[in-house]
Structure 1
Amino acid sequence: MNAGGQAFITSYRPEDLDKLTTQLKNGLYRSNYKPTEYDKVQAMVDAKRLETVAIGKKVRRTRCVAKEIKEGDILRQHRQVWSRECPRLQKAEVKAESELSDFIENIRPLGIEDTAIFSLKDYEVFLERDRKAFVMGTVAPVHQLKEDLCFRLEQEQDREIGSPHANREQVQHQVNFVKDQQDIITAKLQEEYRDLQEEITDLALEKYIPTLDILMGDNIPAEVLDSDCPYPELKESLIQAFHSLSDINHTRLQCLQDHLKRTDKYCGWCPDDHFRFHFTLSQYTQDVPNYRALCLHMLQRIFPEKVKHDLMEHERALARQRFTQTQIKVLTQQWQQDQEELLAKALAVLQEARDAYQEELELQRDRQHQQDICFRLREKLQQWRAHQEEVAELQAAIAARQQEEAEAILKREQEKEAALRAHQKEKLRKFHLEQQRRREELEQRDQERLAKLRSAMDEQARQDKERVRFRAEMLQRRQEARETCELERQREEAERHNRLEALRNQVAVVAESDADRMMGGTQSWRNRNLTVREVDIQRPLFGIHTYTDAQIVADPRLRVEQALREAGLHHTQYAQEVLAHIKPPKPPRRDTKSELQF
């Protein structure tokens, strides 16, 4: 049995279980048995449970605070990123606007019939006017509502806590009205955005973008293809080298383009989500601390329906697409560089071949010239007479032939000039018809757009008139309420002033004027001055708070120092040791001792 008597140990066998039960029933161990106090145990359990619940609440609160701190830190870092991104976007906007304005100012019309330049400037003025009207119709109401709500909030704070909010329903109705209006405007902008995007797509501007058709097609330079090479084998080998370079790069480029076509342009997402993802990813560059975590956090906030795995997969797909596009760009640049180098080498080789062929021709020409001189000298005498006879016949035949050729050439030139003039007239007529058709289409589209904008502006003007009337009524009611409050305050002020005046009249003091009593001293002053003159007339002027001469002389250290001075020993080591061992008559206080060691 242990010291507390709460448990006992006994050795028994399984077959002695009945005997042990009988002994317990008969009270064999009743003297050592102590019953359990279940109330105290239950109270201890409840206390432990409450303590556990309190600890759990504290842990949850700590987690919430830590989560809020972490969220605040992340938001602060996001704000820092945006504070860096906002000036960059503003600079880009200012740069784009300046470039557009410079472009519009620098372009000049090609002629009297070139009216597109003036139409572009008029369209710019129209867009600026439309933007101002749009800002006044969308942003200005929001700022106006914000100022109105701030003014109402200040008025509500000035009122008492229990005062009724009479205008709450009207304010809520106004806020909901502005929200609905903004939703309508946003939907309209989205529709115009889609229409504009479809219009840009329908214009097929991709054909005006420079592509790789020059490299993909027959890329043999004209300098090599049309060159006057005296050696056909050399020219054929150069053409074959260009073909080989084109085939190798074309195979690589085709492989990269096939790899790029296997993935969607937007990597499986819709265009808006893809552009938002790409813009968010471009904001968090590697120079931002912890840019990966911040970027992933912002993407999860922007795309709450996307899981982290989808975001990472889209990022990897976008990285692969960028890498492939970079490879295509690098391959294209390398292709162009190799082709330029090969062209330079081919031109150098062709020039060397022409120089060598020219030297051979010079040698051959010299030999042929010598042979010709010899042959002419032999035949000159034989042909001279035959020439003289044929001169007349040849001159006549030549003159007739020249006349016929001149007439034929003149006739062909006249026919060619007539055909060319007819062709130019036909082209000019078609060009004027095409210009007229384009002007009619542009005029029709502008008229339709003007009708839509006028209807939208009429609707906005009607809504603005209703809003102005509503605000005028609200202002009139507030002014009446202020006038009522001011009248009530003035009445209460007049009543308070009358009450104070009545109280002043009741407690007014009525006394006769006495100049001697007013200018003379008081009785207490006279008593105080008389007591000072009679009692303290012999007291010292100042109090002394120091040692007396008897106390100073009673100090043995002073007497010993005086004796050593008279003996001339006060500067010796002996005097210092003697004075160090002499104790004062009264031990010093503890607060006067210094603990500094010199």
Structure 2
Amino acid sequence: MFRESIAILQELRRTPDKLNANDVSAPWNLSPARHWPTPGRAEAWLVGCVVELANRRGENCFHGYAGCTSNSLCNRTIKMSSRDVCSFVTNHCSEDKEKLLGHSKCKVVQYERLQDMLETKRLSSQLSQQKVQKVLDAAQVNKERSVLRLHRQVWFQEHHRLNIARHKTEKDLQHFLHGSGFKEEADTDILFQLQEYELDLKQEREEFRLTTVEPVYQLRDDLQYRLSSQYSKANHISELEKVLQQVLSVRQQQEEVMDRLKCECVFLQQDIRVTDLKESLLSAAMEDQVSYLEKVPDEIFTADCLYPDLRSDLIHSFHSLTEKYKLRIAIQETRLQGLDRNCGWNAADHECFQHIMSQYSPSLRNQRSLYIDMVQRMLPHITKQELSAHERRSDWYHFSLTQKNLVLQGWHRDRSELLLRALSMLEDCRISHIQQQELQKQRSHQQNICLKLKAKLQQWRIQQEEAADLEATLVAYGFKEEEERLRKEQLREKTRRSQLKQQINWFRAEKQMKQEEQRKKDMERLAELRREIEEQVQRDKERVKFRKDQFQQKLQMHEAKKKQKQKDDKEKEERLRALRNQVCKVAEANPERMIGNTVAWRVRQQPEEVFTLQRPLYQLNTYTDKQIVSDPRVRIEQALRIAGLHNTPYARQILSELQPLKPPRRDMESAAFRS
């Protein structure tokens, strides 16, 4: 019946032109499950819906059912499904507009509502875009702050380093000027000249202060005095004009002084950097070093050498070393072609770039991004591509210079090593020649000595032959004595071995007797142990049999309890079935039920009856009141509560130390939270 009611309700909602959604008493706005809980009222609601549907179709579908009762009408309506609604209602030809309005897929477009929705979406999109832009701006500001903080840290470190270097340089200069660096009379003259120059510089600074800085301070004091003192209003304007003229004149003078100082500073810098003095000095020093290294050392020509071929070979080695390193220097110079000291930039920009790069050490995190950011801030007219290209050119320029210096250092090192080897070789040749001469003298002297020694050797051989004959006779006599001694020693050893063999035989016999006695004792102990094991096996069998009997008894008791429980469940189910049969409701065919009170309503009007169960539904296994009161923990807690001490630390300590009358079983304790 519920499905048929839903189908009728859907048919009613397909005609929105006649449906009043604000009518609370209309049948389509009432839920049968909520407002009519009884079957009779649900049928009444369904009949009302069918009548309303027929009225909307414009036909009186209940014309033929005027003489029928409400019960028969409800029965016919309940039997009708949702597919029979169209055949139940007479056909009604409506217009195209009504068909479109009644169709679920064709609706009237509400342009004003869509326009409002579009404006709302546009406003929300603009707000979201503003929020996103705000977040991006905040992120950009935070990024800028973090970068500036890193720049500030680097600047502080560089400032501290420069201060230390300045103090150290000033200290060294003062130490040098006070005479500690000069030891000769000519040096003392230079010291006196430097001290006189220092005094001249101090005098010029004092004159500059008096002519430029002092008037500014005087004007400031005069203005402060004029502001603090009171003048008449008549002279006030004239005084202000005079003061303004003085201020303008002083400002103009200061601007002229600053311009002149800037020009002098520029001229001094140009004088210091005139014609790239440093680069020219470096190139001149490098050329002098190359010309010095190209020459063959004079030590090779001045050294004593008795072998001309060796000297020519050494000179050839120096020439080959010179050619090898000149080729390497030429390769480095070809790399430096087209590159100057500033790498294509002007001197000020390149100096600023190098100074910024020196501030950011390679150990600093994000070193390249930081110094590129600082260079772009200091030189905004230079693009990032130009900066990267200049960085590559500068690295290549410094790398080539470093390689050239390394080549010169290697040349100087190899030349020094070759010179040392050559000098050592020449010295070895000279020493070997002297040794050969000495050896020749020693050979002649040695021959004379050999002749003398040969005569002595002949005499010594004769004496040795006589001594050998005497020794042979002595050895033969000693050999005979040794044979006699060995024979006696063998005899003593034979008697000792016979005695030792007899003792070993006695020891073996005694040991065998002891082993036999021990074996008999072990056999007796083994028999005794076997008897004890058999008795223990018999006792274990009896215990196992006893445990099996007990287990069988427990199984029988468990089966009996299980059967009793099934029997109790069956009786309980029968009682519940009887109770359900008692409370079951059967709707009878009664036309007066539509306007009269229902059975449920009459039951609610009657007083409630207390239903007492004859037997409990299930068995409760818990503690009795006597068991609870007899527990000492409960009684002590009650006494503490009466005394008002149950929330004190004393009460908590006492209650934690109390033990129950019957300790809990060990298998009921949980070991999950034990450490």
Task: Tell me the TM-score normalized by structure 2.
Answer: 0.44
Higher relative contact order (CA 8 A, sep 6+): 2
Task: Tell me the TM-score normalized by structure 1.
Answer: 0.49
